[in-house]
């Protein structure tokens, strides 16, 4: 269907299907006609690729993905959108809509069944309230995908793409950089959505690493240390990890010393290699 970014067309489609926006699902539909083509172009929607889309809205991004990729499988949790999508995506025979919660979907199985012989990428306009859980699930599952391109809250995107060892980084930055190479692509103003959210957004892409950094012997412990380190941002690495993980401060200090780090070092000052070294030293002491 043409003009899916036209507000009057959107309102007409939604009215015919008696659809109302759900605050609980964080629904803000894109109405800026320039945004979705850019997401599709920069998100690996092209010949030879299959795309997993998470959250369809009324199909504006789905439409652009389907024009470019060999196949699109869109996962949408809101069953009220199924008749809407049947209308807006009727012209495409390379689109499959799955009414499901992506957090409860076996994506390994989906990729094996739906994308044989294709490279696979993920594209999504994610609800802000569940951005981190979805991203971490996509990365930790070690899916056979090339990239994840998502629209997120601007503040979240800054943290997700922050270089290691800088003030903007957080625990999620460590995880993102462990599994991928992040890149902030472009910003999107709040006026690009209907209804308009209270914050601006940005589009980010994570190119999945062929191999994760060496040296981590227990990933669960490594990420637990990362979360603990940033649980109290104004504190030193020693105080944060000791307090959040319930480990005696003398042990944490010993791990810091063994890692050749300053006693008063703050977590945001650490590189990936230093985080791994510290985590491994601490693991051996506890």
DSSP class of residue 105?
Answer: S
Is 70 annotated as a binding-site member? no
What is the number of alpha carbons within 13 Å of residue 156 lying toward its C-beta? 22
Give phi and psi for 51, each to the nearest 5.
Answer: -120, 130
Contact 53, 74 (CB under 8 A): yes
Q: What is the DSSP string of 230-246?
A: TSSTTS-HHHHHHHHHT
Is 260 annotated as a binding-site member? no
3-state secondary structure of 182: strand
Is 101 annotated as a binding-site member? yes
3-state secondary structure of 24: coil
Please give the Cα distance from 104 to 166 (Å, whole number).
Answer: 34
Is 76 annotated as a binding-site member? yes
Contact 51, 73 (CB under 8 A): yes
Q: Which of 45, 12, 266, 35 is nearest to 151 (CA)?
A: 35
Q: Which residue has the tokens 């795309």?
A: 51
Is 125 annotated as a binding-site member? yes
What is the number of alpha carbons within 13 Å of residue 249 lying toward its C-beta? 8
Is 18 annotated as a binding-site member? no
- Tokens, residue 67: 């024009």
Residues comprising the binding site? Answer: 28, 30, 55, 76, 101, 125
Residues comprising the binding site for S-adenosyl-L-methionine? Answer: 28, 30, 55, 76, 101, 125
């Amino acid at each position: 269907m043409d003009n899916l970014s036209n507000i009057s067309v959107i309102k007409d489609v939604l009215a015919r299907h008696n659809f109302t926006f759900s605050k609980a699902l964080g629904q803000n539909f894109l109405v800026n006609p320039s945004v979705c083509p850019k997401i599709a172009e920069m998100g690996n929607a092209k010949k030879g690729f299959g795309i997993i889309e998470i959250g369809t809205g009324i199909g504006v991004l789905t439409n652009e993905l389907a024009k470019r990729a060999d196949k699109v499988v869109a996962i949408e949790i809101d069953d009220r959108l199924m008749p809407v999508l049947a209308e807006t995506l009727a012209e495409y025979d390379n689109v499959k809509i799955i009414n499901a919660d992506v957090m409860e979907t076996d994506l390994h199985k989906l990729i094996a069944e739906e994308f044989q012989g294709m490279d696979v990428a993920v594209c999504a306009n994610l609800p802000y309230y569940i951005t981190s859980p979805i991203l971490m699930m996509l990365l930790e599952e070690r899916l056979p995908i090339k990239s994840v391109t998502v629209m997120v809250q601007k503040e979240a995107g800054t943290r997700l793409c922050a270089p290691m060892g800088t003030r903007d980084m957080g625990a999620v930055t460590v995880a993102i950089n462990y599994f991928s190479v992040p890149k902030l692509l472009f910003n999107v103003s709040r006026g690009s959505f209907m209804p308009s959210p209270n914050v601006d957004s940005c589009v980010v892409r994570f190119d999945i690493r062929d191999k994760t950094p060496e040296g981590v012997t227990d990933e669960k412990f490594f990420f637990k240390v990362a979360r603990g380190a940033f649980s109290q941002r104004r504190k030193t690495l020693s105080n944060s990890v000791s307090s959040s993980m319930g480990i005696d401060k003398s042990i944490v200090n010993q791990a810091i010393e063994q890692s050749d780090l300053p006693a008063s070092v703050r977590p945001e000052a650490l590189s990936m290699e230093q985080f791994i070294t510290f985590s491994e030293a601490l693991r051996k002491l506890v």
